[in-house]
Structure 1
Amino acid sequence: MNAGSKRILVVDDAATVRMYHRQILQQAGFLVDEAVNGIEALEKALNSPYDLYLVDINMPLLNGYEFLVDLRSRDIKQAPAIMISTEAEQHDRARAFESGANFYMLKPIKPADLLKYSSLLLGVGG
């Protein structure tokens, strides 16, 4: 499979972060959608599941942990999730994995790292 057929949802309340991740991923050929919080992300995922989720932790209404727990409890096609945060403590990382994340990255993310781990979890060349 190629990058162009893979759909990624970027979930972050910061517009600049969403734009940064979108630009990197779209330049690599991925189809990218955005959500500003966990509630919007859940609505979009339930409507049409994605191939990968990039999820911030600290967001209003429904945070990244809560979003992943809810998503993982649903009877829909499941996809890998990368938790992306400024939270650097070990308990934050542990909680991310307990919530259903497949990988944990600290902000700011280098474009090459974002592409490398996204491609790896999606099973596409990168």
Structure 2
Amino acid sequence: MKRILIIEDAATVRLYYRGILEPVGYQVEEAVNGVEALEKVLAHPYDLYLVDISMPKLDGYGFLKELRQLAVPQVPAIMISTLARAEDRRRAYEAGANYYLLKPTRPEQLVAPVVLLLNLASPK
């Protein structure tokens, strides 16, 4: 079973993503900020990351920059944010994101890129 780490400070949003991803067969874990997420990554690798930008302690940009420098398996990351400017997207991709979604996200808008990126990362 593929493991997804949701990195999001809002509990309701984490619950919403979990409610979308678990029923379609993914194992979901959560972190409330980038620091906690890095600790989890170092303890056990994941297959994909869903990353919010605006979080306390270490934001999504900082998390991805740190993650991409670690000696761990490098897997896809989807940045999800309310920030809609081209500059925000550019910064996300420069930090190491593979895809950018705007909040609020409908279930099909979340599942489609998750499935695509996981299949590209580990073709059968």
User: Shorter chain as normaliser: what TM range?
Assistant: over 0.9
Partner residue, 1:101: 97
Partner residue, 2:4: 8
Partner residue, 2:117: 121
Q: Report whether the alignment pairs 1:59 with 2:59.
A: no
Q: Report whether the alignment pairs 1:28 with 2:18.
A: no
How many residues align? The count is 120
Give the alignment's TM-score, normalised by structure 2. 0.95
Partner residue, 2:64: 68
* CA RMSD, 1 decimal: 0.8
Q: Report whether the alignment pairs 1:43 with 2:39.
A: yes
Gaps of at least 5 residues in structure 2 are none
SS at match of 1:24: helix
Q: 2:60, 2:33 → 1: CA distance?
A: 8
Identical residues among aligned pairs (%): 59
Q: 1:49, 1:71 → 2: CA distance?
A: 11
Per-residue Cα deviation, 1:57-98 (whole angstroms, up to 9, x for no partner): 000000000000000000111110000000000000000000
Gaps of at least 5 residues in structure 1 are none
Structure 2 counterpart of 1:74, one-letter code = L
Per-residue Cα deviation, 1:27-84 (whole angstroms, up to 9, x for no partner): 1010000000000000001111100000000000000000000000001111100000
